[in-house]
């Protein structure tokens, strides 16, 4: 069993981004800019936004966070996004999810200029991903693909089971895997027999937010397991969707939680923002 070190890989990606940013600034006087919209006072969202701001600073980006009260109107959020769409210093616009219930998330995401949609959630980018065209890809699935590449994990012809069908993780993950010539099964909350699908897969990618969902008997010997889930349990510790202790001995490769996919998500956000900034040239 090889434990995948997402932390080290993310640091390597960030170092490469920082090097390119320095070069871009020197040669073209361009500093990549990322703007984040944070609505409300959800502790987890605030923590993620702080991590993103710190990562931006670390690679030399210009970054700004628009913190808004939970009571803010949809029109006010849209006006802020439109202002950032028009700002030439901003290359990436990120709306921290989830948004309050009175806000139409789909409407908000569709206001973002697709060329600045570094989260890869706009329908324009989703459509291009499905058809295999160049686009911005959702950061977590993109981070998983980077892990496969870094660890030389072959995808072509492999049976892959994606557990979870969200727009943010499951669906883009499945599209990326299909584009890489894998045979993909997508399972979700209404799937009748989850074990029947996971137990025959060469690779299992899970991201549903249910602690310990994937048990030892649900994984075949030698499988690759990518755990995207992150859950805080009663003792305060963070765990994934996989019963790591019992599943890991059966795996050829497995990501831990924390320290697996999580750091790669932020690394890919930086990579996407750099890609957008380079399009200015």
Residue bearing tokens 């702080």: 50
Does the annotation count 96 as an active-site position?
A: yes
**Catalytic entry in 14, 52, 146, 202:** 52
**Catalytic entry in 91, 117, 119, 243:** 119
Does the annotation count 119 as an active-site position?
A: yes
Q: Using alpha carbons only, give the angle 135, 36, 255 rounded to the nearest 5 degrees.
A: 65
**DSSP assignment letter at 94:** E
Q: Using alpha carbons only, give the angle 34, 51, 143 rounded to the nearest 5 degrees.
A: 75
Does the annotation count 52 as an active-site position?
A: yes
Please list, in sequence order, all residues whose beta carbon lies within 8 angstroms of the beta carbon of residue 12, skipping any fewer than 6 positions away: none
Helix axes 6-28, 43-59, angle to 10 degrees: 50
How many CA within 13 A on the CB side of residue 197? 19
**Catalytic entry in 91, 96, 146, 202:** 96
Sign of the CA dihedral running 247, 250, 256, 262: negative
Please list, in sequence order, all residues whose beta carbon lies within 8 angstroms of the beta carbon of residue 264, skipping any fewer than 6 positions away: 6, 9, 10, 13, 140, 143, 144, 146, 147
How far is the C-alpha of 106 from the C-alpha of 118, rounded, in Å? 16
How far is the C-alpha of 221 from the C-alpha of 169, rounded, in Å? 25
Residues with a known catalytic role: 52, 96, 119
């Amino acid at each position: 069993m090889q434990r995948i070190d997402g932390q080290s890989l993310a640091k390597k990606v960030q170092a490469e981004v920082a090097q390119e940013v320095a070069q871009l600034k020197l040669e073209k006087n361009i500093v990549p800019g990322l703007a984040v919209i944070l609505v409300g006072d959800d502790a987890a969202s605030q923590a993620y936004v702080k991590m993103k701001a710190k990562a931006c600073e670390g690679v030399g980006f210009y970054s700004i966070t628009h913190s808004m009260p939970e009571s803010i109107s949809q029109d006010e959020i849209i006006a802020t996004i439109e202002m950032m769409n028009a700002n030439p210093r901003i290359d990436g616009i990120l709306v921290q999810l989830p948004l309050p219930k009175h806000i139409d998330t789909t409407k908000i995401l569709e206001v973002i200029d697709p060329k600045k949609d570094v989260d890869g959630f706009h329908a324009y980018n989703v459509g291009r991903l499905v058809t295999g065209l160049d686009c911005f890809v959702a950061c977590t699935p993109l981070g998983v693909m980077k892990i496969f590449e870094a660890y030389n994990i072959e995808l072509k012809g492999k049976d892959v089971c994606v557990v979870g069908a969200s727009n943010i993780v499951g669906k883009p993950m499945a599209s990326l895997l299909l584009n890489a010539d894998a045979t993909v099964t997508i399972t979700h909350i209404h799937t009748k027999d989850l074990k029947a699908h996971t137990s025959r897969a060469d690779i299992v990618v899970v991201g549903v937010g249910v602690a310990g969902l994937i048990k030892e008997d649900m994984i075949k010997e030698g499988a690759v397991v990518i755990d995207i889930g992150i859950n805080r349990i009663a003792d305060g510790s963070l765990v994934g969707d996989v019963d790591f202790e019992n599943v890991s001995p059966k795996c050829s490769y497995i990501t831990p939680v924390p320290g697996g996919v999580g750091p790669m998500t932020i690394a890919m956000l930086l990579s996407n923002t750099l890609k957008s900034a380079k399009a200015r040239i």
